[in-house]
Amino acid sequence: MKKHAPLLNLFKIAVIISLAVPLIFAHAAPAECKAAGSVTLEGVITAESSATEVGGAAVSAGGKATKSDGNGRYVVSGLMSGRIIVEIKKPGFENYSESIKVTKGVNSFNVKLRALPGTENCGMIQEDKLETSAGQSYEEMARRSQERRRAYRQGAVSQKVAAAEVRGTNYIAGKVVDMTTGVPISRAKVNIDGEVYFSDAAGEFISRPVARAQAAIRAESPAYNAYESNIKITTGKNKLKILLMPLPENSAAYTGYDKGKIVEYTKFSQQYAGVSGHVRDAKTKEPVNNATVIIANKSAQTNAQGFYTVEGLAMGHADITIIAGSYGVYKGNINLAKVSNLNDVSLSADEKFGAVSGTVVEKETGRPVHGAKIQIGNKIVVSDQYGSFAIKGISYDYYNLTVEQKGYQRIEKALSVNQETITVSVELADEYQTAK
């Protein structure tokens, strides 16, 4: 029997291996069937100097690779949550590499590539790309594109207007003049939705491209009353003539000589009006407390007796708006014919609701920002791939609208919901601009 021992041992070893192998593969199987990640990263790649889209860039993110399309857009799916490395390569540009944190769902990450020395002309504005059929060389188109961008940034108002018209952008061009003499006012400060410009020697100014549907304008200059207004933005050039009224102590106007005769001094005195009254319930006649009364560009709150007073208004016709929670919004027009005016208002308790829609874009490039969180009151939505959003069922009142997205500065602005549909446009600046 002893001579059969080796054979018996071999048989035992074979049995052990045959039992062990299935167990080993049984434990290994789950690793092969591991589910793909549920994270998507998308964004737009542009040239830093020209803000034009960069197509055909090689994108690597979290071990997955793709290329940007003709609009500079890329999408990488199936990533895992956590920190990943994003690498982008494109001939003519510096290689880009950054570590970012991604979470479950869709993450937006836009990238600006810096041109290599000697290749700064590789970015052309859109209208130059359309000139390829005209038989012009690449070098000529790049040169013209650079000249247009330089004229738009640094040139005179007339050059900026011409460059802006070629670019096909929406902007505001205007002139600031003395109301009494018609003489242009130089170095007048013009504030357009927070962007400040100064009029030139001819009283003219021009804004940067405007993406909003309307803009708040304020113009001021020493020795003049300030000008404030809201204007709607249309396609292309929006012309605006701003008339500034001299302050009373500077109201004497001298217009020079006319056919050898001296034109007499003309004195102007600006009178201001005030409005006061009560806001009451239309049915019960009870006072409405804490209602917001807006007349022209000034506002006030009603007290416990529903009484309000608004001072410092220019005489003439003015719009009046009253917002009072569940009472909705009252709109009307009053004639400020006297220095002191009385205006009582009755409100109906029919609660009204409005909708707020708009777009979220990058401040520098105007590109849509996808995945931004927009909040009004307790309602929250996220912008889509076009940067658009809509929030419905918002009761008439004052709110703070907040917009947040990773990599951008947080935006918070006051918003008055006082009609059925309100459109807003939000520009997000890069987060690095806040670092000091």
pLDDT of 76: 93
* Contact criterion met (CB below 8 Å) for 417 and 407: no
Strands 388-395 and 353-362: antiparallel
Residue 22 has which token pair?
A: 């299935």
For residue 89, give the CATH number of its domain: 2.60.40.10
Whether residue 358 sits in one domain with residue 315: no
The pLDDT value recorded for residue 71 is: 79
For residue 177, which amino acid is it? V
Q: Specify if 358 maps to a domain.
A: yes
In a domain, 146, yes or no: no
Q: 294 vs 130, 302, 333, 356, 396, CA distance in Å?
A: 49, 11, 11, 21, 14
Query: Which residues are bridge partners to 359 per DSSP?
Result: 388, 425
How far apart CA 402 and CA 319 sit, in angstroms, is: 28
Q: Which domain holds residue 55?
A: 39-113
Are 109 and 190 contained in the same domain?
A: no
Residue 128 domain-assigned (yes or no) = no
Determine, yes or no, domain membership for 21: no
> Domain check: are 310 and 333 in the same one?
yes
The per-residue pLDDT string of the chain (436 residues; one tens digit each, 9 = 90 and over) reads 445 555 556 556 665 555 555 555 444 444 433 345 688 998 888 887 766 778 889 999 988 999 998 778 899 999 988 888 899 999 888 888 888 888 888 888 888 888 887 554 444 334 444 444 445 555 565 566 666 656 555 555 555 555 555 455 677 888 898 887 778 888 889 988 888 888 887 788 888 777 767 788 888 988 888 888 777 777 677 788 888 888 765 443 333 333 333 333 333 334 578 898 999 888 888 898 888 898 888 888 899 899 999 888 887 788 888 888 777 778 888 888 777 888 888 887 666 778 999 999 998 888 999 999 999 988 999 999 899 999 998 877 778 899 999 888 888 888 878 778 889 999 998 876 544 3
Q: Are both 168 and 105 inside the same structural domain?
A: no
Q: Does 318 map to a domain?
A: yes
Strands (E), 187-248: 189-192, 195-198, 204-206, 214-220, 227-232, 237-244
The last residue of one of the domains, among 249, 264, 299, is: 249
| Pair 235, 160 in one domain | yes
Pair (167, 237) in one structural domain: yes
Residues 363 and 343 in one domain: no
**Is residue 102 within 8 Å of residue 116, measured between CB atoms?**
no
* pLDDT value at residue 404: 92
Structural domain ending residue among the three candidates 81, 113, 145: 113
Residues facing 43 on adjacent strands: 74
Regarding whether 165 and 222 lie in a shared domain, the answer is yes
The enclosing domain of 221 has a CATH number of 2.60.40.1120
Q: Indicate if 204 and 277 belong to the same structural domain.
A: no
Give residue 381's pLDDT.
94
Residues 159 and 242 in one domain: yes
Provide the pLDDT for residue 261: 36
Which pLDDT does position 5 carry in this prediction? 58
Which is nearest to 114 in space by CA: 106, 124, 122? 122
pLDDT of residue 9: 62
Domain closes at, from 295, 321, 347: 347
In a domain, 217, yes or no: yes
- For 168-198, letters b (16+ CB in 10 Å) and e give ebbbbbbbbbbbbeeebbeebbbbbbeeebe
How many domains are contained in the chain? Answer: 4
Handedness of CA 401, 402, 403, 409 (dihedral sign): positive
At residue 143, the pLDDT reads 65
Residue 13 resides in a domain: no
- The CA distance from 357 to 405, in Å, is 17
Asked if residue 34 belongs to a domain, the reply is no
For residues 176 and 240, membership in a common domain is answered with yes
User: Strand pairing partners for 348?
Assistant: none
237/282 same-domain check = no
